[in-house]
Amino acid sequence: MTYSSFFVSEFLVLWRRKQDVFNALLFFIIVVALFPIGINSSPDFLAPAAAGIVWCAAVLAILMAVESIFKEDYLDGSLEQLVVSGLSLPLLILLKVAAQWLVVVLPLLVIIPLLSEMLYLPSSGFWVLIMTLIVGTPSLFFIGVIGAALTVSIKQGAMLVMLLILPFYLPVIIFSTLAVKATQSGLPYSGLLAMLLAMSLLSLVISPFMTAIVVKASVN
């Protein structure tokens, strides 16, 4: 096994599971649609709330996608093979998360223009929203993958992952929505983007090692 052959096989598996990715995307859209339907569909409410709605939906969709990232590998024994491969387990996990991020977030970004139109997001906020998604979502994946590893041996672990991980997502949601709100009221937002970037980098450094510890303890 090499790092590149692992990365390629990860993409192949994700390609064969494209229905799951598509489902995550549909889930994302339907959660967004819940807000205008359930609360208020007037532009006065939606325009300032748009970024928050998109982020809440994105957080849920991403956590649903990340939650099962190790499940199949755990059941078929390939997770064990990663541990004994002699390659660096944190690096393999990093590659796995990177592949998953590309496959989940890129379609999500493609759908954002449509959704921001539906939520009456002013064009000034649109690009900032895109930027917060690009800069902020890696930390969601890196934090979420710890939860996925913690619960990989539990049969019905999805709810537990939600309970464990969602509190850690609050800062990302707060920084992102504040950044979009700041542009809408003409304030600088670069500091908030920097915070998001810092969170992504910090979790990129810490999470693979933590996840590796948990994965090693889980496969036995």
Partner 1 sequence: MSWAWFHKLGSPKWFFSWSKPWALPLFCFGCLSLLIGLVWGLVFAPADYQQGNSFRIIYIHVPVAMLAQSCYLALGAAGFVFLVWQMKMAPVFIKAMAPIGAVMSLVALVSGAIWGKPTWGTWWVWDARLTSVLVLFFLYMGIIALQNSLEDQVLANKAAAVISVVGLINLPVIKYSVVLLETLHQGPTFTLTKKPEMPAEMWLPLLFAVIGLYCFVAGVVLWRMQSEILMSEHRSSWVKQEVTKHGF
Partner 2 sequence: MQSSASLTISDLWIERGERDLCKGLSFSVQPGEVVRILGENGAGKSSLLKIIAGVLSPLEGKILYSGEDVTLDRTSLQQDAIYLGHSVGVKGLLTVAENLRWYCPDISISILYSVLTQLDLIDLVDVLVKKLSAGQARRVALARLWLTKKTLWLLDEPFASLDVGGVALLEERIQQHVLLGGLVILTTHQDLMSITPHDVVLLS
Q: Do residues 46 and 36 touch, judged by C-beta distance below 8 A? A: yes
**Tokens 């908030």 sit at which residue?**
192
Site residues, partner 1 (CB under 8 A)? 143, 146, 150-151, 153-154, 157, 160, 163-164, 166-168, 170-171, 174-175, 178, 181, 195, 199, 202, 206, 210, 213-214, 217-218, 220
Check residue 185 for interaction with partner 2 (CB under 8 A).
no
Give the HSE-up count for residue 173: Cα atoms under 13 Å, Cβ half-sphere.
18
The separation between CA 17 and the C-alpha centre of its own chain, rounded to angstroms, equals: 17
E strands of the chain, at which residues?
none
Residues in Cβ contact with 55 at an 8 Å cutoff, skipping those fewer than 6 apart = 132, 172, 173, 176, 177
Taking the least distance from each CB to partner 2, the nearer of 100 and 137 is 100
Check residue 16 for interaction with partner 2 (CB under 8 A).
yes
CA distance 62 to 65: 5
Stretch that binds partner 2, among 25-33, 42-50, 82-90, 189-197 (CB under 8 A): 82-90
Q: Which residue of 39, 40, 41, 77 would you call a contact of partner 2, by CB under 8 A?
A: 77
Check residue 20 for interaction with partner 2 (CB under 8 A).
no
Q: Do residues 189 and 182 touch, judged by C-beta distance below 8 A? A: yes
Taking the least distance from each CB to partner 1, the nearer of 31 and 213 is 213
Check residue 42 for interaction with partner 2 (CB under 8 A).
no
Taking the least distance from each CB to partner 2, the nearer of 56 and 215 is 215
Taking the least distance from each CB to partner 2, the nearer of 57 and 149 is 149
**Tokens 């990989």 sit at which residue?**
152
Contacting partner 2 within 53-72 (CB under 8 A): 72
Q: Do residues 171 and 106 touch, judged by C-beta distance below 8 A? A: no
118 binds, among partner 1, partner 2, none (CB under 5 to 8 A by kind): none
CA distance 29 to 111: 9
Kindly list the residues in this chain that would bind partner 2 in the complex (CB under 8 A): 1-2, 4-6, 8-9, 12-13, 16-17, 72-73, 75-78, 80-81, 83-86, 216, 219-220
